Amino acid sequence: MPSFPNESKEYRKKRDELLEAESGLREELERVAAMRRRLPLGGEVKNDYVFESSDGPVRLSELFENGKKSLLVYSYMYGPDMKNSCPLCTAFLDSVNGHMHHIRQKMNMVVVARSPIERIMRFAASRNWDKLPLLSSASNDFNRDYHAEDKNGNQWPMANVFVKREDKVFHFWGSELLFEEFENGDRRHVDLLWPLWNFFDLTPEGRGENWYPSLDY
Give pLDDT, residue 76: 94
Q: Which of 129, 128, 132, 148 is nearest to 140 (CA)?
A: 148
Give pLDDT, residue 198: 84
| Domains of the chain, start order | 1-38 (no CATH), 50-176 (3.40.30.10)
> Residue 104: is it exposed, middle or buried by C-beta count within 10 angstroms (0-12/13-18/19+)?
middle
Instruction: Look up residue 47 and give its amino acid.
Output: N
Give pLDDT, residue 214: 79
Residues of the chain with pLDDT under 70: 1, 182-187
Give pLDDT, residue 183: 64
Q: Which of 121, 110, 97, 98 is nearest to 159 (CA)?
A: 110
SS3 155: strand
Give pLDDT, residue 110: 98
Note whether 61 and 94 are within 8 A (CB): no
